[in-house]
Structure formats: structure tokens, C-alpha cells
Amino acid sequence: MAARTFTINDQLISAREGETILQAAREHGISIPTLCHLDGVSSVGACRLCLVEIEGSRVLRPACVTPVVEEMIVRTDTERLREYRRMIIELLFAERNHVCAVCVANGHCELQDLAIAVGMDHVRFDYAFPRCDVDISHPLFGIDHNRCVLCTRCVRVCDEVEGVHTWDVAGRGADARVITDMRQPWGEARSCTSCGKCVLACPTGAIFRRGATVGEMERDRHKIAYIVAAREQRW
Amino acid sequence: MDISELLAIAEHENALRRPIGIRCCTALGCQSAGALSLKQRLEEAVAEVDRTDIEVIGVGCMGLCGHGPLVQVDPHGVLYEHVRAADAPSIVAALDGGEATAPQGDPQHPFFTLQKRIVLENSGMIDPERIESYIAAGGYQALYHVLHDMTPAEVIDVVTRSGLRGRGGAGYPTGLKWATVAKSHGDRKYVVCNADEGDPGAFMDRSIIESDPHKVLEGMAIAAYAVGADQGYVYVRAEYPLAIQRLQRAIAQARRLGLLGAQIFDAGFTFRVDIRVGAGAFVCGEETALMASIEGRRGQPRPRPPYPAESGLWGRPTLINNVETFANIPPIIRNGAEWFAAIGAETSKGTKVFALTGKIRHTGLIEVPMGVTLRQIVEDMGGGVPEGRVKAVQTGGPSGGCIPAALLDTPVDYESLQRVGSIMGSGGMVVMDDATNMVDVAHFYMEFCKDESCGKCIPCRAGTAQMLHMLDLIRSGQATAADLAQLEQLCLMVKETSLCGLGQSAPNPVLSTMKYFREEYEALVRGERSEVRGQR
Amino acid sequence: MAAPRAQPPVSEQTPHPSGDNRFKLLEATMKKHQYRPDALIEVLHRAQELFGYLSTDLLLYIAHSLHLPPSRVYGVATFYHFFSLAPKGEHSCVVCLGTACYVRGAAAILAAAEQTLGVRAGHTTPDGRLSLETARCLGACGIAPTVVFDGTVTGHQTPEQVQVWLERLREKDL
Amino acid sequence: MSFLDLDEWLFELAQHIDLVYSPLADVKEYPEHVDVALVEGAVANEDNLRLIRQVRERTRILIAFGDCAVTGNVTALRNPLGDPAPLLHAIYVERADVGSCMPHTPGIIPPLLDRVQPVHKVVPVDVYLPGCPPPASRIRALLEQTLAGGAIHLAGRDMIKFG
């Protein structure tokens, strides 16, 4: 495969043809924040945290879906990007009811980690305090919509890896919610195989194993990529 | 079907014409005001006087929708406004020197005389429900010419040299888009007509389809030939039942005559067109969302590249143009690239159709050469506001901005409108008078964008909700100067980070009103308006 | 384009189509589209036209027929404003809130209608007689402000006119 | 309690500061010309509101101390339910075993605000110290920076992790 040479933050990088900026950056230890991205499932470019500046481009580009181009000059950590990322994280905290202190994912949460990474010591926007449901009708798992960031990782992993498509998104805009089957209680969603991949995929405490209490919801998200890799390399 | 048959249809149709034609508008605006019963009454009145030299024709939009129902009598061009069914006999009697009871309009008013009709050349002239009427006006000859005398590359060359740019809003060069699709490889290609006219305050595309549906179909067929597509879709809003009905009829008629379908004009060219009816989602005007919707999915945009020209419907190369863009094609083929390029402004060739509405005397649909000033449109053609003064002109709908009265001399072209903080948009032009509070206007658009945000990307989903909340605080006098600064910051972020055009342009109405009418925001911050009026 | 699919067997959990002619008509639409999943929106349009609204059972029936996951059908049906998952009133009053109508006083019209009916926009009166709705833009800006009564577009409306129409409807025992 | 985890460093701290007001100290009125205030808790009732305005007015550096002050945290969990009246009714009237009545003792029980708000939504805040509770090491780092004068900067997992 042909190699591509380009620059990230003044560092010369070589990447394989067809690789995204995000892949190339991570291989070289350059971190770009992401939330909706999950190794093993398709990228949707929705969270906008991985936006980078590309010299000569008028607009910011999502690193997760932008392929590298020879001699491209990329900046991942400018003042402007830092400020925008912090605002995006603040918007998420203001949008639903994220209470780290009583969350099952406290200490193991990608949203919490991102807040630290972007330097969020408080949220400047007004909190919306929406009313959100908690569904614990499933015998093994639960979903708390207060903590959902609508990254759709559960939807994609269920569709693309488990192949069941129990999850989807209903409604739109701020009213959008992830749903199981006909928006019925998860426990009644007949298509669900209880495989638990959505639990692995969830970046926050929204989808959790029942019985987990504060801070207990640890998960090995790399498993998704392992499953996919194992399937592809099967002979 | 060959050219002689086509010409024979035209000839036959023209032979049927009577010396005196009473044209009655049957587009949506006039229909709502009673045009259908009026037309029937006119037909009866003609039958009553037993005149075979008079015919009554139902036609598409005549433009001056605010004064409907409209009736115009050929060959003298006498125009009647606000016509009631009861006026019908007197209109027929007036042909013999009687006095018509309906008020007469002035066909020499600048509203009409300053127009340059290319897209609307047949609007209000032909019967949109009969393909023969379109053929008699020269219809489908451009398609014949293209199929028999030109290579696809030559067609693209003509469109490129004409300087035509996309009329959907962004103004991307049409020829370039066609060339990209033509060059892209795929086992199949598609042509899509974007008739998901979602901007509130805009009805150009609805009117074009209701008044002259075949022109759009002919434009699509020419495009399909040029890029190598064999299947077309018209994606039209469910809110436009009359347009859908006329389009369905037009497609069936064209198919029957062999002008759509297999082996068009025996030239080895096949092109089928299907209608896809939208279901109430503004975001589906965005091309990747539109394609998702045609594929039966949630109308959510995806990042570009890949562009639809390379990977569109079902992953195949897809050409997406707006209704007005396609409607420009047959005249360009007929009259040549140079003819078109000679009309309009330096970087914006041809004409633009605008829906002129709001606080203005003459509301309706106009087509003007690019480069005319907003002042000519608003003051000369539109007759200014009924009471008070013009305060601002809003172009581009929720994606556009408010241009203050002081900048009315701005010429209408893509670049000039962008320079003053708005956009050309699809053609909505809403005039506001000094009774309009601009913070309310910004709030109105933001509420729209928040409701229409698909929810996929965070800046648009959460950002529009937050911007709306901040505008609420400002309107209710609870905001501080710091909040204004924060709102501005948020606007810039949403503009630069959102995934699609909806989010990227959602802050525009706020930014432009903050730029030109900042004192209105500041007055509210100082608590100078106790009562909030306007939208809920 | 996705390959045409054969008509699927109707599963036990979907309502049995026999006995209701509307299901036959819906079936015909699906057949016309060769049960292709990408015809979902067309099929939903037809279903709502036939049944008035999209019930959970109806959505499930469509999901099975088009071989689509239920959550995807539900996701699509709730994405588009045009689709209603709850029954509508016998009559409808749609107030256009497009820009031209807004500038010409649509807000006052909507407020008058809400006051007369005692329900908020987007809701149906408790007696099921009338649904009050709003539209983004009907494209009839030339005759703004516009209101659609039972499918008929009327222009140049005032709050008083709308109130009169609604009150007349209330009095009449249709 | 987390503050007390500062252990012997508290003695060092005591040499640098005068503690002039605290809910535990017997001081009724918040004094004037205070240099630093560590504000714990969110603004939930009218007493909180009155006090925080006074604190802001009379203090040079106001530090929102802990998640409740910074975000509303657990105390704001009632916000999605809206106006507190129905909630109070459910608790004190509907489910009361004995003496069911709405709490109403003017001057003694402060009325609840419609919404619990983080401190910075009510008055300007100079420094934010997240944590539920902020660990002692974090408090110490904050106070050391504060005592040193100059700009206070807190970053990284050890300093600004919520929860």
C-alpha cells in the first residue's frame, strides 16, 4: 500500500493510503479527542470533537473520517480548537443531567475524561435539566437517558457487529432518544440478544450493567475492535 | 417520438388557440382565494354569450400573488386583480366594451416591467396540466437537440460557459458539478431534483413546479444525458400537494409521449423519473440528508467528502440540483451559453427568482436579472412597505441574514449578499418594517432551526437549543452584557463546527441582527422592553 | 438499488391483514415498491393516508413486511413531522408559522386559536373533534397569513376570522 | 470532612489566615472586606440566595468549592421535576404518617427556589474547584496558590475531575 507523508502539529508523519487523520495521529501518539468514534464500528463524524485545522481548507474537518493526503498540513491543538472543544463538552453537560458524583461510570467515563482534557472546571451555559427516563426493565442491563450523549455507538455496534439493530434513534434534535425496538421497555424488545455489546460501547454511564453502583461500571471497549478483527481474520 | 411529431403536436396545439384568451391563475395562492370557481364561472360566462373566439385557460403563477385571484386577457394584456367569481360575466362583457366589476391592475407597473423572465417564461402563460401547452411553447425541443446534435461533453461545456450557478443557495457552479458526476464511475448514476423547499417565506420552487412542471423534467433529462444517468428523482415536500399532483401528471404525460422512459427520441437514451415525497424535515434540503431520505432512512446528513457527485444514492454518483437550476437548462440550451452569460452580474449570471413577501405592498413572485439592487426590488417593484419605513430585508431564510435598510443599494448577487452577512439562499425575500423587533426575528429563526435540527451533531443539536435559551433570556430582560458576548461566541462555534449547512448557518440570523441592530439587543439587556411580543 | 424481495410471510405478532381492506391497499403499495426497504417513507405515507395515523401495530406490520428492524421503522416515523403516531381529530386547523406569515401576525392567530379551543398547538381537543397544528411554511406567502382548515388553504387571515371558523365548527354537530 | 483531611497542614494554614466566617463558627453576620471565601453547596433556597449575594459583595476572591457549588450536583437532581411545590406536597402531605402539612414557618424555614442553581449562575465566581468532595490534596493545591497571590490555575485529572 502506498505511503503518504504529511504534517501534524509540525511533526512529519507517514501513513498508509486511505488512513484517516485520526488513525495516523494515534499511531504516532498524537491524541485527538473523540467521543462518537469507536474502533470497530463505522465513523459518523457527529461529535465534532476531533475537528482539526487543515492548511488551505476553509472549514474544519473531522479527523475520524478525513483521509490523509500527501503533504497535508494538519493542526490538532490550536487555541480556537481548544475553545470549541471545551464549548462542545459544556453543551453536553448542560443538555442532560450528568451527575458524576452518583454515576456508575464515575472514574471510567469518556465524557468525564474529556471534560478534564479540555479543562472544563465549570459549565458556562445554563443547564437544561430535562426530564429523562431510566429503563431497567432488562434483566441484565439498564439505560439512563440522563447520561446519554446520543453518540449512537450503541446503535452502530448493535447493527454492525451484533447484526441485530435493536437500537436506533427516535425523534430528532434535542428530543432525540436512543430506543430499543418500538421504543418499548428494553426488557420487552424481542430483537435484543442480551449480548452486552452496547454496554461495552457506551462512553458514559448511560448504558450499564444492572447492579453496578457508583464508579463500578468499568468496561473494556477494545473488545469491540477485537471481535471485529477476529471476524475479519477468520480463515 | 421524433422531432416532426413533436412539432406536429405544437402546431396542432397552436391551431387550437382562439384569438382572445382569458388566462386565469390556478396556482396555490390564487386557488386559495377562489380561482377554481372563478375559472369555472368564466367558462360558463363565455358559453353564455356563445363566443367561439374566446377561450379560458387555467395557467400557472402570474406573480402578484398578494392581489389574487388574477386574470389576464390576451391579446391586449388587460390585468384584473382580486377577481371574484361574480365578476366573471362582466370580464367577458368588457370584451365588447362593457365595464368589468373587478379592479384592474397595471401590467406596466415596475413589478412586471423590471422582471426578466427565463425560468418563469411560461409561468402564467401556459396550462401546466397539459403537456401540449408546454410543447407549443417550444418545450422538449432542447432535449431533442441535445440528444441528436450534441455529445454529453458538449452539453456540459455549454452549461459551464453559461456561468450558471446552483440556485439552491450555495451557488456552486453547475457545469463543474455536472462534469464531476460525468467523470465519476458507477454502474448506475442518478439525477435528483431538490424540491424540498424548506425555507419559510420561500415558494419559488413550488410555483415553478405548479406553473411549468415539464420545464423541470426537461432540464433533468438533459442533465441525465450529460452525466450518464438513467434514473431521476424529484424530492418534493409533502406540504406541496398541488405541486406533487401536477408533477405526477406531467411525468405520466411525458412518459405517454415517450419523452421520458426508454428510448427517448429514439436516441438510445433512457431516463425515468420518480417522485419522492418528503415528510416534513427542513434538514432534508441538505443534499446528503435528502439522499438518506430517498433511501428511506432518517434524513440525517453525513460528512462530505465523499460528495454525492462521487458517492451518492446507494453509493453511486448522483447529481443533485435545485428546481430553479434545472428550469434554467432548457433556455440555456435553446439560446446558447453566450446569451445566458450576457445576462446578470459579473460572477452571477442569469436571473434569480425571488418570493417577495412580508411587510410590502406587492407580494409575489418575481424574476430579476442578477445585479439589480435590493432597493429596486423592494421599493420600485414591491412598492415599499404599506405603513412606516423599511427596516430590513431578510434573504436566505433561516440560513441567511437581515440586511438593514441602509444597505438597500446592495446588488443581488452571490458575493455581494455574502459580504453584507446574508446569503442568496433559495430566493426567499422577506421585508420587515420598523414595527418589527429584530431580536424577535432572530428568535423566530432560531426556534425554527432548533426544531429542525436533526440531532446528529452536538454543536447544532445542543447549540441551537442553548442559543434559543439565551435569546429567551435576552427577550425577557434577564440577560447581561456578558451573556451577549457569550451568545456571540457560541454562534461562531456552532457556525464553524456543525456537521451540515443547517447548523453552520443557523447562527446567521443572530449574527447579522447583532451586527446591524445591536442596539435592540442592548436595549433589552438594559431592561427597556417590559413586555415581550411576537412568537411564543 | 437493493434487490427486490419476495413477499414475506406475515408473522404472528403483526395484525392479520385479512378482513380490513386498508391492509390490502397498503399491501398493494408495498408490492408496487417490491417490498424494498428504501420505500419505507413512501409506505408510511400510504399507511397514514389509509389509517389516519401510525399505530405501533401498523409500524410493526410494515417493519416485518419490508424486512426492517422495528427500531429503524420507529426511528424514521418519528424523525419526520408529517407522520403522526397518535390519532388525529376529525377536523384540522393548521396555522402557518412561516416567515411571511410570522411578519404578518401569525403568532396572534395561533394564540387566538389556542384560546378558542383550549388546547396548545400540536394537540387535539379532548373530544377528538379538532387537531390544532402548525406548519413551517406552506409556500403560500403571497397571501400571508395563511391557515388551512380541513385541507383548504385560506389566505389573509385574522385572529377574529379564525375564531369565528372554530366556533362555528364547535356549534355544528358534524 | 475532606477539608479536615488536610491534617497537620491545617496548622500551617492557620498561621496564614483568619477564619472570619463559617457555618460552624458562631458568627451571625458575614463580615466586610473578606479576602477569600470558599463557598460550599448550591443555591437552593432564599436564605442561600441572600447570603451568597452578601458574600459576593464583601469578598475579594469567591471560590466555588466542590461539585454542588460548581454544578448543583445532587442537590439539583430535583430540577428536572420542576417547581418544588408538588414534590413537597408529595413528601409532607401525601406520604406523611403523622401531622401531614406543608412546611411553612416564615423566618425559620427558608422557602425553596424553583430551581437549584450553581453559584456562578447567581453571582460571579472567581475560581472553581470541582470534586465531590474535592480531595485534600486538591484543596491544599488550591489554597497554596491562593495564598501565593497571583492567578489561580487548576488543570488535569488531579485538580478538576468532577465526582
B170 touches chain A (CB under 8 A): no
Domain CATH code at residue A68: 3.10.20.740
> How would residue C152 be classed by pLDDT, with cut points 50, 70 and 90?
confident
Lowest mean pLDDT among A166-175, A211-220, B113-122: A211-220
Which chains are within 8 Å of B by 3+ CB pairs? A, C
Domain count, chain A: 2
Backbone torsion region of residue B17, taken as left when φ is above 0, otherwise alpha when ψ lies between -120 and 50, otherwise beta: beta
In which residue are the cell numbers 427565463 written?
Answer: B118
For the residues A41-66, what does the mean pLDDT come to? 97
Is chain D touching chain C, with at least 3 CB–CB pairs below 8 Å? no
H or E, element range at B367: strand B364-369
Contact between chains at A122 and D120 (C-beta distance less than 8 A): yes
Rounded distance, CA B302 to CA B383, Å?
43
Query: Count of alpha carbons within 13 Å of B350, Cβ hemisphere only?
Result: 29
Is chain A touching chain C, with at least 3 CB–CB pairs below 8 Å? yes
Rounded distance, CA B178 to CA B332, Å?
15
Rounded distance, CA A50 to CA A43, Å?
12
Decide if A87 is inside a domain.
no
Contact between chains at C74 and A179 (C-beta distance less than 8 A): yes
Stretch 494-533 of chain B: residues touching chain A, C-beta under 8 Å: 496-499
Assigned CATH for C91-171: 3.40.30.10
Lowest mean pLDDT among A188-197, B220-229, B278-287, D88-97: D88-97
B39 touches chain C (CB under 8 A): no
Contact between chains at C136 and B200 (C-beta distance less than 8 A): yes
User: What was the pLDDT predicted at A104?
Assistant: 97
Q: How far is C79 from chain A (nearest CA, A)?
A: 5
User: What was the pLDDT predicted at A232?
Assistant: 86
Q: How far is B411 from chain A (nearest CA, A)?
A: 25
Find, among C78, C60, C91, the residue nearest to C174 by Cα.
C91
* Closest residue of chain B to C76, computed from CA coordinates: B298
B33 touches chain C (CB under 8 A): yes
CA B215-C142-B277 angle, to 5 degrees, is: 50
Residues of A in contact with B303 (CB under 8 A): 44-45, 62, 65
Mutation for testing the A interface, residue in B446, B461, B504 having most A CBs under 10 Å: B461
In which residue are the cell numbers 465523499 written?
Answer: B306
Rounded distance, CA B122 to CA B61, Å?
9
Q: Among B32, B314, B358, select the one facing C140 at the smallest CB separation.
A: B32
- Where do you find CATH 1.20.1440.230 in chain B? 438-525
Range of the domain at A174: 100-232
User: What was the pLDDT predicted at C35?
Assistant: 96
H or E, element range at A26: helix A21-27
Contact between chains at B490 and A87 (C-beta distance less than 8 A): yes
A72 and A108 in a single domain? The answer is no
Contact predicate B76/B107, CB 8 Å = no
Q: How far is B21 from chain A (nearest CA, A)?
A: 51
B465 touches chain A (CB under 8 A): yes
B510 touches chain C (CB under 8 A): no
Architecture of domain B138-341: 3-Layer(aba) Sandwich (3.40)
- Where do you find CATH 3.40.30.10 in chain B? 14-113
Strands (E), D16-131: 34-40, 43-45, 59-65, 112-117, 127-129
User: What was the pLDDT predicted at D38?
Assistant: 96
Residue C8 has pLDDT above 60, yes or no: no
User: What was the pLDDT predicted at D72?
Assistant: 97
Assigned CATH for B14-113: 3.40.30.10
Show Cβ contacts of residue A113 under 8 Å, excluding neighbours closer than 6 positions: none
Decide if A89 is inside a domain.
no
D22-61 tens-digit pLDDT: 988 888 899 999 999 999 999 999 999 999 999 999 999 9
Residues of B in contact with A111 (CB under 8 A): none
Q: Does residue B328 sit in helix, strand or coil?
A: helix
User: What was the pLDDT predicted at C15?
Assistant: 52
Find, among A196, A205, A209, the residue nearest to A167 by Cα.
A196
Rounded distance, CA D61 to CA D124, Å?
10
Q: How far is B365 from chain C (nearest CA, A)?
A: 8
Q: What is the pLDDT along chain B (536 residues), one digit of tens a residue?
A: 889 999 999 999 999 999 999 999 999 989 988 999 999 999 999 999 999 999 999 999 999 998 989 999 998 899 999 999 999 999 999 998 889 999 999 999 999 999 999 999 999 999 999 999 999 999 999 999 999 999 999 999 999 999 999 998 889 999 999 999 999 999 999 999 999 998 888 899 999 999 999 999 999 999 999 999 999 999 999 989 999 999 999 999 999 999 999 999 999 999 999 999 999 999 999 999 999 999 999 999 999 999 999 999 999 999 999 999 999 999 999 999 999 999 999 999 999 999 999 999 999 999 999 999 999 999 999 999 998 899 999 999 888 999 999 999 999 999 999 999 899 988 999 999 998 999 999 999 999 999 999 999 999 999 999 999 999 999 999 999 999 999 999 999 999 999 999 999 999 999 999 999 999 999 999 887 644 333 32
Residues of A in contact with C72 (CB under 8 A): 165, 168
Contact between chains at A181 and C70 (C-beta distance less than 8 A): yes
For the residues D6-15, what does the mean pLDDT come to? 93
Contact between chains at C146 and B32 (C-beta distance less than 8 A): yes
Could you write out the three-class secondary structure of chain C? CCCCCCCCCCCCCCCCCCCCHHHHHHHHHHHHCCCCHHHHHHHHHHHHHHHCCCCHHHHHHHHHHCCCCHHHHHHHHHHCCCCCCCCCCCEEEEEECCHHHHHCCHHHHHHHHHHHHCCCCCEECCCCCEEEEEECCCCCHHHCCCEEECCEEECCCCHHHHHHHHHHHHHCCC
Find, among A32, A136, C81, D16, the residue nearest to B196 by Cα.
C81
Residues of B in contact with A174 (CB under 8 A): 450, 453, 455, 461-462, 465
* Domains of chain C by residue range: 1-85, 91-171
Show Cβ contacts of residue D67 under 8 Å, excluding neighbours closer than 6 positions: A100, A101, D73, D130, D131, D132, D162, D163
User: What was the pLDDT predicted at A1?
Assistant: 59
A92 touches chain D (CB under 8 A): no
What sign has the CA pseudo-torsion D9, D15, D17, D19? positive
Of 3.60.21.10, 3.20.20.70, 1.10.10.10, 1.10.10.1590, the CATH number of C1-85 is: 1.10.10.1590
Question: ipTM score of the complex?
Answer: 0.93
Q: Which three cell numbers stand for residue A70?
A: 500527501
Q: Among A99, A122, A131, select the one facing D128 at the smallest CB separation.
A: A122
Rounded distance, CA B450 to CA B212, Å?
34
Q: How far is A14 from chain D (nearest CA, A)?
A: 31
Q: Among B451, B456, B459, select the one facing A88 at the smallest CB separation.
A: B459
Q: What is the CATH topology of the domain spanning D3-79+116-160?
A: Rossmann fold (3.40.50)
First to last CA, chain B: 57
Which chains are within 8 Å of A by 3+ CB pairs? B, C, D
Interface B–C counts its CB contacts (< 8 A) at: 156
Contact between chains at B497 and A88 (C-beta distance less than 8 A): yes
Stretch 147-176 of chain A: residues touching chain C, C-beta under 8 Å: 159, 164-172
Show Cβ contacts of residue B266 under 8 Å, excluding neighbours closer than 6 positions: B1, B2
Please count the other Cβ atoms lying within 10 Å of the Cβ belonging to residue B207. Answer: 32
Please count the other Cβ atoms lying within 10 Å of the Cβ belonging to residue D49. Answer: 16
> How would residue D1 be classed by pLDDT, with cut points 50, 70 and 90?
confident
Find, among B155, B24, B43, the residue nearest to B89 by Cα.
B43
C74 touches chain A (CB under 8 A): yes
Contact between chains at D120 and A100 (C-beta distance less than 8 A): no
Residues of D in contact with A102 (CB under 8 A): 74
Show Cβ contacts of residue B306 under 8 Å, excluding neighbours closer than 6 positions: none
Q: Among B203, B281, B397, select the one facing C140 at the smallest CB separation.
A: B203
Q: Among C82, C111, C155, select the one facing B33 at the smallest CB separation.
A: C155
Architecture of domain B351-433: Roll (3.10)
Using CA atoms, how far residue D50 sits from A28, D26, D66, in Å, is 54, 19, 20
Residues of B in contact with C153 (CB under 8 A): 28, 31-32
Q: How far is C154 from chain A (nearest CA, A)?
A: 30
User: What was the pLDDT predicted at B529?
Assistant: 60
C31 touches chain A (CB under 8 A): no
Interface A–D counts its CB contacts (< 8 A) at: 70
A226 touches chain D (CB under 8 A): no
C98-136 tens-digit pLDDT: 888 888 889 999 999 999 999 999 889 888 889 999 988
Contact between chains at A171 and C59 (C-beta distance less than 8 A): no
CATH 3.40.30.10 fits B438-525, yes or no: no
